[in-house]
């Protein structure tokens, strides 16, 4: 069995930021990612980030990914396994990986799960028809592989991802026929929405998709209006022909790996779903296992990077290889996190973290 000091599962913003701190602290790190390349969802993000300099503001997502990867990939104490999926997690820091043809068993002193999140689905008639896709899928297809999903898209959901992906569809010369939002108001930032409206994209609030129409692939969607209780308004149905429908109705934390280990988890709605309960050092009820980033609660990539850095610092300390600038760095990153969460969208997260804190105090 192979031995490593720290294994990081997931090479996205959280995992890479944790890796950087660990590498600097001279810890032997292995990053495992099931995708062909590191960077997580950053590699498909063409928009510029908000926030402060530390949070990589004004940089585009894919450039941030390059920078994060650059910081660690040549380090002699960092091993990177791509195209490799972690398929098993056991007590005492043991995990198994699968990479196309072979299983491997690895023992680590500490495991950091930075598995991110997956997109939520939406229940409606025929929702399994081909050409109904997740927003992340469309982003990947266009911005990583340079392929467009179709010619005419109806977007379901007006959160930031729905709005950003709609704009990216326009940039790729794909028609966005409508953006449909069930809530009475647009979910994402006004700056994204107004850009789309200026480009002639219609955003309909208090409407939802009732049915997808098509036999072997999508041909149209049926949209209905909703009243204040989210019930369908009679005779409000309209049919919008389209060849692609994008579902962008939020994310839920990828808790599945942690759940293999029987660690304490809880459904915390404010964090986006079922999450692992961790203490202030990101440590779960299994002392070998840490969880960080969106896997711990849905936020933005900026927060995932700050959390990742903090987690990396704590883990280094927990294996007696404290980062030389531990105190200063922890203070800085925690302050950044605090700043990120003080905005209007942060309340939700803070509420969720309060519940997490209470749960964690009952763990040990």
Partner 1 sequence: MRIKDHPILTFDKRKEVHFTFENQPLIGYQGDTIASALVDHGVTTFGYSIHKNRNRGFYCAIGNCAACNMIVNNKANVRTCITPLEEGMNVKIQHNKGEIV
CB atoms within 10 A of CB 323: 23
Residue 9 contacts partner 1 per CB under 8 A: no
- 169 SS3 class: helix
Strands of the sheet with 152-156, listed across from one edge: 132-134, 244-247, 152-156, 175-180, 203-204
Q: Which of 133, 74, 49, 105 is nearest to 305 (CA)?
A: 49
Binding string, residues 27-46; x marks residues near partner 1 by CB under 8 A? -------xxx---------x
Q: Which is nearer to partner 1, 43 or 224 (CB)?
A: 43
C-alpha distance from residue 298 to each of 45, 120, 145, 217, 256 (Å): 17, 12, 26, 32, 15
Residue 85 contacts partner 1 per CB under 8 A: yes
CB of 60 to partner 1, least distance (A): 7
User: Tokens 């900026």 map to which residue?
Assistant: 302
Burial 211-227 (b: 16+ CB within 10 A, else e): ebbbeeebebbbbbbbe
CB of 143 to partner 1, least distance (A): 6
Contact positions with partner 1 (CB under 8 A) in 152-181 = 171-173
Q: Are strands 78-81 and 85-90 parallel, antiparallel or unpaired?
A: unpaired
Residue 305 parent element (H or E): helix 301-318
CB of 171 to partner 1, least distance (A): 5
Partners of 97 in beta bridges = 86, 104
- Token pair in block for residue 53: 């300099």
Q: Which of 355, 327, 294, 315 is nearest to 10 (CA)?
A: 294
Taking CB under 8 A as the binding criterion, the range among 138-146, 186-194, 302-310, 350-358 that sits at the site for partner 1 is 138-146
Residue 132 contacts partner 1 per CB under 8 A: yes
Contact positions with partner 1 (CB under 8 A) in 98-127 = 118-119
CB of 37 to partner 1, least distance (A): 10
Residue 67 contacts partner 1 per CB under 8 A: no
Distance CA(24)–CA(26), nearest Å, equals 5
Residue 12 contacts partner 1 per CB under 8 A: no
Position among 6, 142, 251, 258 found at the interface with partner 1 (CB under 8 A): 142
Residue 229 contacts partner 1 per CB under 8 A: no
Position among 217, 262, 328, 347 found at the interface with partner 1 (CB under 8 A): 217
Q: Which is nearer to partner 1, 41 or 285 (CB)?
A: 41
Residue 252 contacts partner 1 per CB under 8 A: no
Q: Which is nearer to partner 1, 93 or 134 (CB)?
A: 134
C-alpha distance from residue 276 to each of 109, 215, 234, 240, 317 (Å): 19, 41, 42, 41, 21
Residue 141 contacts partner 1 per CB under 8 A: yes
Residue 24 contacts partner 1 per CB under 8 A: no
Position among 123, 146, 320, 362 found at the interface with partner 1 (CB under 8 A): 146
User: Tokens 């949070």 map to which residue?
Assistant: 55
CB of 11 to partner 1, least distance (A): 13
Q: Which is nearer to partner 1, 244 or 285 (CB)?
A: 244
Residue 26 contacts partner 1 per CB under 8 A: no
Residue 128 contacts partner 1 per CB under 8 A: yes
Residue 148 contacts partner 1 per CB under 8 A: yes
Residue 129 contacts partner 1 per CB under 8 A: yes
Residue 136 contacts partner 1 per CB under 8 A: yes
List own/partner pairs for 50-54 with CB under 8 A and 24 or more apart.
50/302, 51/302, 51/339, 51/340, 52/336, 52/339, 54/306, 54/332, 54/333, 54/336
Residues engaged in binding partner 1 (CB under 8 A): 34-36, 46, 60, 83, 85, 118-119, 128-134, 136-138, 140-149, 171-173, 216-217
């Amino acid at each position: 069995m192979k031995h490593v000091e720290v294994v990081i599962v997931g090479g996205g913003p959280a995992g890479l930021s944790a890796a950087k701190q660990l590498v600097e602290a001279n810890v032997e790190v292995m990053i495992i990612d099931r995708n062909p390349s590191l960077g997580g969802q950053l590699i498909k993000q063409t928009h510029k980030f908000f926030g402060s300099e530390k949070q990589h503001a004004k940089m585009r997502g894919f450039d941030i990914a390059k920078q994060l990867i650059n910081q660690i990939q040549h380090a002699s104490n960092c091993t990177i396994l791509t195209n490799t999926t972690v398929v098993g997690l056991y007590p005492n820091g043991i995990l198994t990986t699968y990479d196309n043809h072979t299983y491997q068993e690895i023992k680590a002193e500490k495991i950091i799960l930075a598995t991110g999140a997956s997109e939520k689905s939406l229940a409606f008639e025929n929702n399994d028809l081909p050409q109904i896709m997740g927003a992340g899928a469309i982003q990947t297809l266009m911005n990583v592989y340079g392929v467009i999903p179709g010619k005419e898209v109806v977007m379901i959901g007006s959160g930031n991802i729905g709005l950003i992906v709609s704009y990216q569809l326009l940039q790729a010369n794909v028609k966005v026929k409508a953006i449909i939002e069930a809530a009475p108001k647009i979910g994402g930032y006004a700056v994204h929405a107004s850009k789309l409206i200026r480009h002639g994209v219609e955003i309909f609030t208090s409407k939802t998709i009732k049915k997808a129409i098509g036999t072997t692939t999508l041909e149209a969607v049926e949209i209905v209006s909703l009243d204040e209780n989210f019930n369908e308004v009679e005779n409000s149905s309209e049919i919008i022909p389209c060849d692609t429908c994008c579902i962008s109705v939020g994310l839920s934390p990828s808790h599945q790996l942690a759940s293999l280990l029987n660690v304490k988890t809880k459904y915390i709605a404010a964090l986006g779903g079922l999450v692992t309960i961790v203490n202030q050092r990101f440590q779960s009820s299994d002392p070998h296992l840490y969880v960080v980033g969106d896997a711990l609660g849905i936020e933005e990539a900026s927060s995932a990077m700050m959390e990742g850095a903090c987690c990396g610092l704590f883990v280094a300390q927990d294996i007696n290889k404290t980062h030389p600038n531990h105190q200063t760095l922890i203070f800085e990153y925690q302050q950044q996190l605090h700043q990120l969460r003080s905005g209007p969208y942060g309340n939700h997260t803070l509420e969720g973290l309060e519940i997490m804190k209470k749960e964690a105090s009952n763990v040990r």
